């Protein structure tokens, strides 16, 4: 038996995400939690454990390297409005041109050109594959995964299931140690 799930249109989901993310962002009890928060398509809150020191270190190094190499805007915990709620990329890199299209939005309705996920021990391959697909559907050009040891895996929108050897947008990027 095949399961078919009917989703609202992208425009309807983005409008819903906009309203729900505004509620989440304005809730002081949620802001006080030590967890990373995202939502799913129904507006339910998804909580991830707080980042470890190593996770935070790699996130910071990636953010700095992207800005130093490409300019633009490298944003930590970058809220991307997707067809399955609002997901927070560990780092999202926007060119100045693309950022001008989303500037002022509470959750960005066009994904950054590069979405980076720093893999934590609790992340599953299935979860990361789902996030990768959501970021590409929202307009990302590349999705990067940073493993616990700092090794990088790059994917592009042209063949999102097959890793590419280097980023096309930032070919000089090196692993984070």
Q: 134 exposed, middle or buried (CB, 10 Å; 0-12, 13-18, 19+)?
A: buried
pLDDT at position 29, please? 94
pLDDT at position 78, please? 97
pTM: 0.94
> Are 116 and 62 in contact, with CB atoms under 8 Å apart?
yes
pLDDT at position 132, please? 98
Q: Which residues are bridge partners to 88 per DSSP?
A: 79
- H/E segment holding residue 16: helix 10-26
Parallel, antiparallel, or unpaired: how do β-strands 45-48 and 36-39 relate? antiparallel
> Are 173 and 167 in contact, with CB atoms under 8 Å apart?
yes
pLDDT at position 155, please? 98
DSSP per-residue string spanning 107-126: SBSS--SEEEEE--TT--HH
* Assigned token pair, 151: 């090794």
Q: What is the pLDDT along the chain (177 residues), one digit of tens a residue?
A: 888 888 889 999 999 999 999 999 999 999 898 888 999 999 999 998 878 888 899 999 999 999 999 999 999 999 999 999 999 999 999 999 999 999 999 999 999 999 999 998 888 999 999 999 999 999 999 999 999 888 999 999 999 999 999 999 999 887 777
Q: Counting runs of H as helices and runs of E as strands, what totals does the chain give? A: 5, 7
* C-alpha to C-alpha distance for 71 and 143, rounded to whole angstroms: 18
Lateral strand order in the sheet of 152-156: 73-82, 85-94, 114-118, 142-146, 152-156
pLDDT at position 50, please? 79
* C-alpha to C-alpha distance for 61 and 63, rounded to whole angstroms: 5
* C-alpha to C-alpha distance for 108 and 125, rounded to whole angstroms: 25
Counting Cα atoms < 13 Å in the Cβ hemisphere of 88 gives 18
């Amino acid at each position: 038996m095949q399961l078919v799930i009917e989703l609202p249109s992208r425009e309807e989901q983005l409008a819903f995400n906009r309203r729900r993310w505004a509620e989440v962002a304005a809730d002081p009890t949620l802001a006080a939690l030590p967890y990373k928060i995202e939502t799913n398509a129904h507006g339910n809150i998804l909580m991830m454990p707080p980042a470890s020191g190593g996770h935070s270190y790699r996130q910071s190094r990636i953010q700095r390297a992207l800005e130093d190499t490409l300019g633009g805007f490298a944003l930590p915990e970058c809220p991307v409005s997707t067809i399955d709620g609002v997901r927070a990329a560990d780092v999202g890199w926007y060119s100045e041109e693309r950022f001008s299209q989303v500037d002022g939005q509470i959750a960005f309705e066009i994904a950054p050109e590069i979405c980076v996920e720093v893999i934590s021990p609790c992340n599953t391959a299935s979860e990361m594959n789902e996030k990768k697909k959501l970021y590409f559907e929202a307009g990302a050009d590349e999705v990067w995964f940073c493993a616990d040891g700092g090794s990088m895996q790059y994917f592009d929108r042209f063949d999102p299931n097959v890793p590419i050897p280097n980023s096309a947008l930032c070919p000089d990027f090196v692993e984070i140690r």
